[in-house]
Amino acid sequence: MSSIQNHMKTLLSLFIFLFVLTSAGFCQRNPASYSIGLDISKPVYFSYGNTSSAMGIGLNLNREKKLGKRFSWTAGIGFNYFSGNFHYYKFTNGTGDTISKNFAILPIVTGFKYHFAENFFMQFQGGVAAGISKNTGTEFVLIPSIGYVLPTPKPKIELALQLANVIQGFGIAENNSLSNGGYGYWSFRIAYHFR
């Protein structure tokens, strides 16, 4: 995929994120809440037989706008940095094992949250994982998660487990998963709601 297409995906997602973040024309009775979170991540699968020993840490900013008693609309932007080795086979220069060290992505997502029981929720977000290191590409991402809101007075603390799925893009099999998508990672998130 060309760098122009990658930049267009990133810009479109950033535009959608900013629109969601600044929109205030609906649900005026329920003001939006914001949270800042810390993610601890571990890659769990790669296409093309790639493997990784990396561990990740990240920060994210989320906005939640209630649509009713149980449903909310969400938008988020984050930064995830993975430290460690990523092994892949580079067939274009002869067969052999190739190692890439460390990678970083910038997820820009929007979606819905459903509170199915007191303090418990499910969330589904989609958007792009913008590649911000030289060895990553920009691809679509889908992130289902389940979480728990600690029963504390305001401000709220939220814990969540999520599986980010970076969708495999178009390309030839010689591409590695980081540059062409086709990988996923578990994240444990702890977030602090400040409004």
d(CA 183, CA 180): 9
CB atoms within 10 A of CB 23: 14
Contact residues for 91 (Cβ-Cβ < 8 A; gap 6+):
173, 174
Please give the Cα distance from 34 to 28 (Å, whole number).
16
* Span 46-76, pLDDT tens digits: 776 667 788 999 999 999 998 888 999 999 9
The highest-level CATH class for domain 3-193 is mainly beta
Token duo for residue 36: 């800042």
Tens-place pLDDT, residues 81-96: 999 887 776 655 554 4
Instruction: Summarize pLDDT for 103-139 with one digit per residue, the tens.
Output: 899 999 999 999 999 899 999 999 989 888 888 888 8
- Whether the bond between 155 and the residue before it is cis, its omega within 30 degrees of 0, is yes
Q: Which two tokens stand for residue 8?
A: 């267009």
Q: Residue ranges per domain, the chain?
A: 3-193
pLDDT (tens digit, 9 = 90+) per residue, 158-184? 999 999 999 887 655 445 677 777 889
Higher pLDDT, 11 or 186: 186
- Token pair, residue 129, equals 């994982």
Question: Does the structure show a pLDDT above 70 at 25?
Answer: no
Q: What is the pTM of this model?
A: 0.81
Six-digit token string for 50: 């790639």
Give pLDDT, residue 8.
Answer: 58
Is residue 22 over pLDDT 80?
no
* 86 contacts 97 by C-beta, under 8 angstroms: no
pLDDT of residue 146: 98
